[in-house]
Amino acid sequence: MQKIELKDKYILVTGAAGFIGASLVLRMLGEDDNMHIIGIDNMNDYYDVKIKEYRLGLIEEAVKASSSDFNFIKGSIADRDMINELFKKYPFAVVVNLAAQAGVRYSLINPDAYIETNITGFYNILEACRHSYDNGAPGVEHLVYASSSSIYGSSPDIPYKVEAKTDEPVSLYAATKKADELIAHSYSKLYSIPSTGLRFFTVYGPAGRPDMAYFGFTDTLVKGGKIKIFNNGNCLRDFTYVDDVTEGVLRVMKAAPEKKNGEDGLPVPPYALYNIGNSSPVGLMDFVHILSEELKTAGVLTEDFDINAHEELLPMQPGDVAVTYADTSALERDHGYKPSTDLRTGLRRFASWYREFYG
Ligand SMILES: NC(=O)c1ccc[n+]([C@@H]2O[C@H](COP(=O)([O-])OP(=O)(O)OC[C@H]3O[C@@H](n4cnc5c(N)ncnc54)[C@H](O)[C@@H]3O)[C@@H](O)[C@H]2O)c1
């Protein structure tokens, strides 16, 4: 691995007002590295924009006590001219692309958003990285980008290994993430861009995404409604706590795949992929019961709330997969790291944040 020093460097984080992006920026601000962090986000209303603004507020507070600075730009990575201008203005050493249209189910409703951001937007980032080396400039030392566990499709070969075949995505979202990995590989080979793709597994935590099950279930239960449990609850999810994810991302940012030549004398693409998952999947029904217990403890639900009366079992949804389960041996081998926060601890933190945020 090629060690990357972050001290005094310019670092671009796309999707900086997003759940993982904002958590990463907060984590970086806690480092004593005097980084120049540029965050970009288009602040779209796929989910409540107030949560994105709240996250930016946390960043604004954290900057005050940090050795690093943070500049926020409201804009889209699909805007080629804007991205090019940004790369002209700042000599980015590390680029972390987290901006995406996320969500499996929404890709059936608004497919355009997935092509615009996940394909065109990511392509703009790759082109900008490519031209960062023009005229002998040192350019981007490491491009880190988000992929997803969804690219494993309905594969029965669990736990999912990074080397496994991932040619059968079951949603457009997954297909765009797989396309990102492939396009990044070609750019890495052609232009020697050191790049690392990270396949995240069901990330959850405080100030998370309202479109995800743990958050949506909470909203429904608070209103006294019934939560829809698909595949009759026969799903396993590798829930991964957000701080474990950002710790993994930060470690990966600091160590890029090395540039070297193969036996044929031609450059081997400096390219790597890792799973970032908890590696301990939990059944959906167990998850629902732990969530409801923690919501009671935090005072979000009343002590006598009967969760069994608020469950509606339904068949499998199109685009969904029954199991996600990460094999993290590659991450452990190359970066000495493995997520470890257990679900109850993580949901406790989510529940107490929810209580504070919504009152
Ligand atoms: N949260 C998870 O469980 C999970 C799992 C697998 C992969 N991922 C991936 O991790 C990354 C971060 O996900 P997240 O959970 O933080 O999602 P998020 O939706 O909270 O964050 C993404 C951010 O990108 C922004 N964005 C969308 N389109 C944009 C565009 N064209 N230009 C600029 N900004 C844009 C959104 O406004 C949002 O704030 C995404 O790439 C996602 O696909 C997340």
User: For this structure, is 337 an active site residue?
Assistant: no
What is the atom index within ligand 1 of the atom nearest the CA of 177? 43
* Nearest protein CA to atom 44 of ligand 1, as residue: 200
Return the pLDDT at 74: 98
User: CB within 6 Å of ligand 1 — which residues?
Assistant: 14-15, 17-21, 40-44, 52, 76-78, 98-102, 117, 121, 146, 148-149, 200, 202-203, 209
> Which residue in 114, 173, 204, 271 is the catalytic one?
173
107-to-79, 178, 244, 270 alpha-carbon distances in Å: 21, 15, 27, 31
C-alpha–C-alpha distance, residues 161 and 199, integer Å: 11
Which of 12, 14, 20, when mutated, tests ligand 1's pocket best, judged by the most ligand atoms within 8 Å of its CB? 20
pLDDT tens for the chain, 359 residues long, are 999 999 999 999 999 999 999 999 999 999 989 999 999 999 999 999 999 999 999 999 999 999 999 999 999 999 999 999 999 999 999 999 999 999 988 999 999 999 999 999 999 999 999 999 999 999 999 999 999 999 999 888 999 999 999 999 999 999 999 999 999 999 999 999 999 999 999 999 999 999 999 999 999 999 999 999 999 999 999 999 999 999 999 999 999 999 998 898 888 999 999 999 999 999 999 999 999 999 999 999 999 999 999 999 999 887 778 889 999 999 999 999 999 999 999 999 999 999 999 98
- Per-residue tokens: 16: 């900086």
CA 16-20-26 angle, to 5 degrees, is 65
CA dihedral 220, 104, 246, 323 (to 10 degrees): 90
Return the pLDDT at 104: 87
- Sorted by where each begins, the domain ranges of the chain are 2-202+241-277+326-340
C-alpha–C-alpha distance, residues 138 and 35, integer Å: 17
CATH topology of domain 2-202+241-277+326-340: Rossmann fold (3.40.50)
